[in-house]
């Protein structure tokens, strides 16, 4: 029996040493399992005392229980120490070094097309024009009919688009921003001076045409608007847009909604007029279509053509952006390659 009590004392001493030498939680658990867990050495002694007398059982059992209590207390104390050490080590590793350089966020910026469009609108804003918009899914009536382009008119060929059947009649993806002329004039009496930017669509795709592109429409109607007003306005616009005085050329043309009509060319901004690839050696670049609003259009909106005259023009934003930045393929604007876009 004294043997058993001595053995308990030895086990307690070994267990306590092993606990204080444990470095990690799993070391601790291992020591517990070996000495005072359910299947540990102390339990083994307790289960072997059934053969002893009641008196002996009490003494050996008491010693074993006391040893287990001490071991458990030592276990808890060491566990707390190890956890505290781990916590300090972890916090040390997680410390923020405030002297490190920050992680820079790349600042985004506006797309060159959006910027060009905003610049065009802002220039005309300074010249006294107010901004109007219209729907991209447009009624056939506004996109064609009221602009003096009846069904089966050959002018529709140049503006082939995406048609939709709809219960209320034909709808199209608008092919130009000119329908905003009609929508504006329907709800407004002259004097009218409006600039109308927007996205437009056509069945067209090559290095100078994209099926989706942008236009800015401008128009003015009053009692005595003339073509020289148009010329003066556009000359001033080009000076503000390209930052220099550029000669303009009005070339007779045809649009169903203007009469007379003209396409406007500027002196080539790339070669200055001596001839290059961009201007096809002509020294001139076409930038927009324009003209005096056809009296037939006034008929659709209830303006008296005897009383009012007006001019209108429409320019392609991509074209202006290409000239401004020397870009030779329109598709680059829509590929969203950050290496291209970050140059602007
Ligand atoms: N809407 C025409 C087009 O997309 C451009 C245009 C030409 C607009 C003459 C006008 C204009 O306002 O007067 O081809």
Residues 126 and 248 in one domain: yes
Give CA–CA dist 134/183, Å, rounded. 8
Beta-ladder partners of 313: 218, 290
CB distance 129 to 193 below 8 Å: yes
* Ligand 1 and 289: CB distance under 6 A: yes
Residues 318 and 176 in one domain: yes
Give CA–CA dist 195/226, Å, rounded. 18
* Ligand 1 and 255: CB distance under 6 A: yes
In a domain, 251, yes or no: yes
Give CA–CA dist 209/158, Å, rounded. 12
User: Any residues with CB less than 8 A from the CB of 195 and at least 6 apart, and which?
Assistant: 120, 121, 124, 125, 129, 130, 131, 132, 216, 217, 218
Å from CA of 253 to ligand 1 middle: 11
Q: Which residue has the higher pLDDT, 122 or 331?
A: 122
Residues 65 and 148 in one domain: no
Residues 83 and 164 in one domain: no
Helix, strand, or coil (residue 41): helix
Å from CA of 147 to ligand 1 middle: 10
- For residue 175, the number of C-alpha atoms closer than 13 Å in the C-beta half-sphere is 22
What does the pLDDT look like over 261-319, one tens digit per residue? 999 999 888 888 898 887 889 999 899 999 999 999 999 999 999 999 999 999 999 98
* Ligand 1 and 294: CB distance under 6 A: no
Q: Which atom of ligand 1 is nearest the CA belonging to 219?
A: 12
Domain ends where: 62, 93, 124? Answer: 93
Residues 139 and 62 in one domain: no
> What does pTM read for this prediction?
0.69
Give the residue numbers spanning the domain of 226. 112-341
What does the pLDDT look like over 116-147, one tens digit per residue? 999 999 999 999 999 999 999 999 999 999 99
Residues 82 and 124 in one domain: no
């Amino acid at each position: 029996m004294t043997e058993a009590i001595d053995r308990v004392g030895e086990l307690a001493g070994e267990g306590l040493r092993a606990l204080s030498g444990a470095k990690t939680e799993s070391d601790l658990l291992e020591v517990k399992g070996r000495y005072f867990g359910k299947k540990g050495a102390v339990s083994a002694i307790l289960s072997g005392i059934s053969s002893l007398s009641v008196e002996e059982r009490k003494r050996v059992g008491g010693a074993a229980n006391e040893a287990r209590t001490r071991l458990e207390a030592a276990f808890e104390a060491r566990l707390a120490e190890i956890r505290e050490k781990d916590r300090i080590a972890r916090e040390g590793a997680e410390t923020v070094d405030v002297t490190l350089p920050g992680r820079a966020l790349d600042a985004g910026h506006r797309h060159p097309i959006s910027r060009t469009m905003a610049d065009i609108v802002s220039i005309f804003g300074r010249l006294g024009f107010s901004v109007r918009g219209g729907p991209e899914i447009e009624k056939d009536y506004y996109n064609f009919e009221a602009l003096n382009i009846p069904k089966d008119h050959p002018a529709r060929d140049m503006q082939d688009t995406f048609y939709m059947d709809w219960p209320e009649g034909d709808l199209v993806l608008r092919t130009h921003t000119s329908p905003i002329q009609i929508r504006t004039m329907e709800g407004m009496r002259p004097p009218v001076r409006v600039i109308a930017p927007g996205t437009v669509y056509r069945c067209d795709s090559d290095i100078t045409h994209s099926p989706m592109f942008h236009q800015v429409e401008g128009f003015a109607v009053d009692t005595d608007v003339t073509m020289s007003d148009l010329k003066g306005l556009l000359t001033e616009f080009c000076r503000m847009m390209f930052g220099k005085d550029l000669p303009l050329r009005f070339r007779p043309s045809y649009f169903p909604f203007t009469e007379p009509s003209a396409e406007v060319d500027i002196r080539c901004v790339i070669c200055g007029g001596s001839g290059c690839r961009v201007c096809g050696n002509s020294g001139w670049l076409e930038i927009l279509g324009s003209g005096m609003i056809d009296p037939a259009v006034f008929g659709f909106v209830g303006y008296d053509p005897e009383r009012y005259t007006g001019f209108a023009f429409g320019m392609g934003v991509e074209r202006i952006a290409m000239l401004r930045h020397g870009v030779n393929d329109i598709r680059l604007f829509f590929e969203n390659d950050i290496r291209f876009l970050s140059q602007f």
